[in-house]
């Protein structure tokens, strides 16, 4: 058999696999937790490390961009073909908090390969998925005999995604000219399952807030005063209980204003997926589903907005008992948003709703942290079809369509750069994003490399039949 370009790509990847993994492990050792101020220098180290690595990969330009928060990495590799389209790859180099005590089997920042899995905080979310593009572009050059990519390639890898990307939009607006692109490739999502390659067509947005209630100006005796003054711990619970109605719909007035309902075509595409509730529940580490009436589990996690409690606290939580009415209580809430919902509108709706529900005698404070817009890509966009072809070549299987329940700043890129967003992700639900023992499947990581290797040629070629 004659050697095809795809087999050249595969051989190249196989030959460079070990060095690629060594580099990724080195990066994963840097605990770039953006939410924890004590890790600020680690986030900076992570940015510096990546910029140096991208230069080593061949990008003529690789810069660390400052923000009022954590730094972003920008790299650029122009094509020798001046007429080639421009593609911007988005990812992030910061990670969620992690500690051995949370239930990890090994230190979260000491990467370890067990079987065919690489375990570390950030292995899948998102360092592994950013990093597969480095070997991908080298394989693309090796297979095509080029010295520059088939597209003008740019990478934008931010450092505050896990903190809600508070400065990302301003950064994109500031650098809109250098970031200009015909398509954005977001590598910060997953696919259906190890044996079911999929492309994602949308992400949910996110609005987060923290509400503090203050009652008595110090803890008071629950015998002397119990039953006659408001208890902020009881009131925070009432507020949370009022988040949903009896159909598990969010009960905040105005919450559903303007949302895009699923089309019939989208429902059909979702129905093509081999959904197994028992298996899904195992991935969710849960024993029963629960959610908005009138919607399937997949619709609930991908195409419906939510209100979830991420943390709640107040009063005495230590051993034994303390018969007090606590002075204060708090809750951390996050709202996932779908296309048509605007985080600013949600902020106003939640603020008004909370203010109305707090009784006399309780003072409240509500603060919102960075929000993320929802994002949705047209199913028939040519660039989306290019991605489907590239992925089909890598996986040698039909590629299905999904959405993503998580959130990323893709919508800001789409809006500011006026470019379609493609989601290229190879993570699977069992990877444990934000959870203990996060991992990436090594076989899928290398399929990510391979898809990246094909994608630049597919995008340069434009609409057409699969290779």
The two tokens of residue 388 are 């489907």
- Residue 140 half-sphere exposure toward CB, CA atoms < 13 A: 28
Interface stretch with a copy of itself, choices 54-62, 86-94, 240-248, 388-396 (CB under 8 A): 240-248
CB of 421 to a copy of itself, least distance (A): 17
Q: Are 241 and 398 in contact (CB under 8 A)?
A: no
Tell me which of 60, 258, 361, 462 binds a copy of itself, using CB under 8 A: 361
CB of 356 to a copy of itself, least distance (A): 16
Which lies closer to a copy of itself via its Cβ, residue 145 or residue 227? 227
Would you tell me how many other CB atoms lie within 10 Å of the CB of residue 98? 21
CB of 393 to a copy of itself, least distance (A): 27
Q: Which DSSP string do the residues of 425-445 spell out, in sequence order?
A: --B-GGG-TTSTT-EEEHHHH
Place of tokens 């080298």: 138
Give the residue among 160, 140, 156 at the shortest CA–CA distance from 148: 140
Which lies closer to a copy of itself via its Cβ, residue 174 or residue 292? 292
Which lies closer to a copy of itself via its Cβ, residue 433 or residue 456? 433
Tell me which of 314, 409, 448, 457 binds a copy of itself, using CB under 8 A: 314
Residues 63-92 close enough to bind a copy of itself by CB under 8 A? none
Give the residue among 457, 381, 19, 416 at the shortest CA–CA distance from 202: 381
Alpha carbon distance 364, 361 (integer Å): 10
Residues 117-146 close enough to bind a copy of itself by CB under 8 A? none
First to last CA, the chain: 17
Tell me which of 43, 330, 384, 417 binds a copy of itself, using CB under 8 A: 330
- Three-class SS of residue 33? strand
Tell me which of 8, 40, 64, 240 binds a copy of itself, using CB under 8 A: 240
Alpha carbon distance 104, 267 (integer Å): 37
Tell me which of 242, 251, 273, 442 binds a copy of itself, using CB under 8 A: 242
Alpha carbon distance 88, 181 (integer Å): 6
The secondary structure of 143-180, three-state, reads: HHCCCCCCCEEEEEEECCHHHCCCCHHHHHHHCHHHHC
Residues 395-414 close enough to bind a copy of itself by CB under 8 A? 404-407
Give the DSSP H/E element, type plus range, for residue 62.
Answer: strand 61-65
Tell me which of 135, 143, 150, 324 binds a copy of itself, using CB under 8 A: 324
Which lies closer to a copy of itself via its Cβ, residue 186 or residue 233? 233
Report how many residues bind a copy of itself under the rule CB under 8 A: 99
Which lies closer to a copy of itself via its Cβ, residue 5 or residue 291? 291
Interface stretch with a copy of itself, choices 9-17, 50-58, 221-229, 444-452 (CB under 8 A): 221-229
Eight-class DSSP state of 250: B
Query: Any alpha helices (H) in 361-401, and if so which ranges?
Result: 382-395
Interface stretch with a copy of itself, choices 42-50, 60-68, 95-103, 127-135 (CB under 8 A): 95-103
CB of 53 to a copy of itself, least distance (A): 27
CB of 179 to a copy of itself, least distance (A): 25
Can residue 221 be called a binding residue for a copy of itself (CB under 8 A)? yes
Interface stretch with a copy of itself, choices 4-12, 82-90, 145-153, 205-213 (CB under 8 A): 205-213
Residues 278-297 close enough to bind a copy of itself by CB under 8 A? 281, 284-292, 297
Tell me which of 18, 22, 37, 195 binds a copy of itself, using CB under 8 A: 37
The two tokens of residue 331 are 């809750």
Q: Are 103 and 437 in contact (CB under 8 A)?
A: yes
Tell me which of 219, 272, 342, 415 binds a copy of itself, using CB under 8 A: 219
CB of 96 to a copy of itself, least distance (A): 7
Alpha carbon distance 350, 454 (integer Å): 45
CB of 79 to a copy of itself, least distance (A): 34
Residues 162-181 close enough to bind a copy of itself by CB under 8 A? 163-164
Interface stretch with a copy of itself, choices 23-31, 256-264, 326-334, 381-389 (CB under 8 A): 326-334
Q: Are 58 and 10 in contact (CB under 8 A)?
A: no
Which lies closer to a copy of itself via its Cβ, residue 79 or residue 371? 371
Tell me which of 8, 64, 180, 237 binds a copy of itself, using CB under 8 A: 237
Q: Are 200 and 300 in contact (CB under 8 A)?
A: no
The two tokens of residue 66 are 């400052």
- Three-class SS of residue 302? helix
Eight-class DSSP state of 318: S
């Amino acid at each position: 058999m004659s050697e095809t370009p795809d087999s050249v790509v595969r051989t190249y990847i196989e030959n460079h696999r070990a060095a690629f993994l060594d580099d990724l492990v080195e990066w994963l050792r840097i605990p770039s937790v953006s939410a924890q101020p004590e890790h600020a220098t680690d986030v900076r180290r992570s940015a510096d490390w990546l910029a140096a690595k991208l230069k080593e990969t061949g990008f003529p330009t690789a810069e660390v961009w400052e923000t009022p928060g954590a730094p972003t990495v920008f790299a650029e590799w122009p094509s020798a073909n001046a007429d080639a389209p421009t593609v911007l790859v988005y990812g992030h180099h910061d990670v969620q908090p992690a500690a051995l005590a949370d239930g990890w089997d090994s230190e979260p920042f000491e990467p370890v390969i067990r079987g065919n899995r690489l375990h570390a905080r950030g292995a899948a979310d998102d360092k592994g998925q950013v990093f597969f593009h480095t070997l991908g572009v080298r394989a693309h050059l090796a297979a095509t005999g080029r010295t520059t990519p088939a597209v003008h390639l740019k990478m934008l890898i931010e450092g505050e995604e896990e903190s809600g990307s508070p400065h990302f939009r301003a950064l994109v607006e500031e650098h809109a000219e250098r970031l200009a692109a015909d398509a954005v490739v977001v590598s910060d999502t997953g696919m259906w399952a190890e044996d079911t390659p999929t492309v994602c067509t949308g992400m949910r947005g996110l609005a987060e807030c923290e509400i503090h209630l203050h009652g008595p100006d110090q803890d008071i005796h629950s015998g002397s005063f119990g039953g006659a003054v408001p208890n902020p711990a009881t009131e925070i619970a009432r507020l949370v209980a009022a988040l949903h109605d009896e159909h598990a719909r969010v009960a905040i007035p105005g919450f559903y204003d303007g949302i895009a309902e699923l089309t019939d075509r989208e429902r059909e595409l979702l129905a093509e997926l081999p959904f197994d509730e028992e298996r899904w529940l195992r991935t969710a580490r849960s024993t029963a589903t629960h959610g908005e009436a009138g919607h399937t589990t997949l619709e609930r996690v991908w195409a419906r907005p939510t209100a979830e409690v991420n943390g709640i606290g107040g009063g005495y939580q230590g051993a034994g008992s303390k018969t007090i009415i606590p002075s204060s209580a708090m809750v951390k809430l996050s709202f996932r948003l779908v296309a048509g919902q605007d985080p600013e509108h949600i902020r106003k709706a939640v603020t008004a709703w909370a203010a109305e529900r707090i009784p006399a005698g309780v003072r409240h404070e509500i603060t919102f942290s960075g929000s993320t817009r929802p994002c949705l890509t047209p199913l028939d966009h040519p660039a989306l079809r290019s991605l489907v072809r590239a992925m089909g070549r890598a996986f040698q299987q039909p590629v299905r369509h999904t959405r993503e329940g998580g959130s990323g700043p893709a919508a800001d890129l789409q809006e500011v750069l006026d470019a379609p967003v493609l989601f290229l992700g190879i993570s699977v639900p069992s990877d444990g994003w934000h959870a203990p023992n996060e991992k990436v499947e090594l076989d899928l990581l290398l399929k990510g490399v391979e898809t990246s290797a094909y994608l630049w040629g597919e995008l340069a070629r434009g609409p057409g039949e699969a290779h």
